[in-house]
Amino acid sequence: MHRQLAQLQQPERGLAIERGHPSSVRPILPCVAKRVAVIGAGAAGLASARWLVDAGLEPVVFERTAAVGGLWRPDTGLAYPSLRTNTSKQKTAFSDLPFEDALPDHPFRDDVLAYLERYADVTGVRSRIRFEQAVTAVRPAAGGWTVDGERFDAVVVATGLFTRPVEPALDGRDRFRGTVLHSRDYGDPAPFTGKNVVVAGAGSSGADIAVELAAVARSVSIAVREAPTFAPRQHRGRPYDHRATRLARMLPLRVRWWRARRILADEYRRRGMRLERVSLNTTPGTDLLDELARGRIAMRPALVGLDADGALFADGSRVDTDAVVLATGYRAEFPFLPAGVPETRPARSGCTAWCSPRGSWRSPSSA
Weakest-pLDDT range from 15-19, 48-52, 337-341: 15-19
Percent of the chain having pLDDT more than 70? 84
Q: Which helix (H) or strand (E) holds 3?
A: helix 2-8
pLDDT band at 8 (very low <50, low <70, confident <90, very high): very low
Residues 263 and 308 in one domain: yes
Confidence check: pLDDT of 136 > 60: yes
Tell me how many helices (H) and strands (E) the chain has: 9, 21
Q: How many domains does the chain have?
A: 2
What is the DSSP-derived secondary structure letter of residue 118?
H
pLDDT band at 308 (very low <50, low <70, confident <90, very high): very high
Phi, psi (5° rounding) for residue 199?
A: -105, 125
Confidence check: pLDDT of 236 > 50: yes
Weakest-pLDDT range from 28-32, 169-173, 278-282, 329-333: 28-32
Side-chain half-sphere CA neighbours of 338 within 13 A:
10
Residues 171 and 320 in one domain: yes
Residues 110 and 234 in one domain: no
Residue type, 106: H
Residues 158 and 9 in one domain: yes
Residues 280 and 319 in one domain: yes
Confidence check: pLDDT of 18 > 50: no
Residues 325 and 257 in one domain: yes
For the domain that residue 66 is a member of, what is the CATH number?
A: 3.50.50.60
The distance from CA 163 to its chain's CA centroid, rounded to whole angstroms, is 12
Q: Which are the contacts of 18, defined by CB distance < 8 A and separation ≥ 6?
A: 2, 3, 6
DSSP 263-296: HHHHHHHTTT-------SSEEE-SHHHHHHHHTS
pLDDT in tens, 142-155: 889 999 999 999 99
d(CA 15, CA 219): 49
Range among 124-133, 223-232, 336-345 rated most confident: 124-133
Q: Which are the contacts of 295, defined by CB distance < 8 A and separation ≥ 6?
A: none
Percent of the chain having pLDDT more than 90? 59
d(CA 288, CA 291): 5
Residues 185 and 65 in one domain: no
Q: Which are the contacts of 4, defined by CB distance < 8 A and separation ≥ 6?
A: none
The answer to whether 132 and 75 have CB atoms below 8 angstroms apart is no
DSSP 212-275: HHHTTSSEEEEE-SSPPEEEPSEETTEEGGGG--HHHHTS-HHHHHHHHHHHHHHHHHTTT---
d(CA 28, CA 53): 10
The answer as to whether 344 is a domain residue is: no
Q: Any bridge partners for residue 323, and if so which?
A: 179, 197
d(CA 250, CA 312): 47
DSSP 44-98: HHHHHHHHHHHTT-EEEEE-SSSSS-GGGSGGGSS--TT-B-SS-HHHHSBTTBP
The answer as to whether 353 is a domain residue is: no
The distance from CA 248 to its chain's CA centroid, rounded to whole angstroms, is 24
Weakest-pLDDT range from 37-51, 143-157, 162-176, 343-357: 343-357
The answer to whether 285 and 230 have CB atoms below 8 angstroms apart is yes
Side-chain half-sphere CA neighbours of 360 within 13 A:
9
The answer as to whether 70 is a domain residue is: yes
Residues 17 and 145 in one domain: yes
**Taking the complete model, does pTM exceed 0.85, yes or no?**
no
The answer as to whether 337 is a domain residue is: no
Residue range of the domain that includes 253 = 166-329
The answer as to whether 234 is a domain residue is: yes
pLDDT in tens, 19-55: 444 444 444 454 555 999 999 999 999 999 999 999 9
pLDDT for the residue 344: 65
Query: Given 3-state DSSP classes, what are the helix, strand and coil percentages for the chain, each rounded to the nearest 5?
Result: 30, 20, 50
The answer as to whether 335 is a domain residue is: no
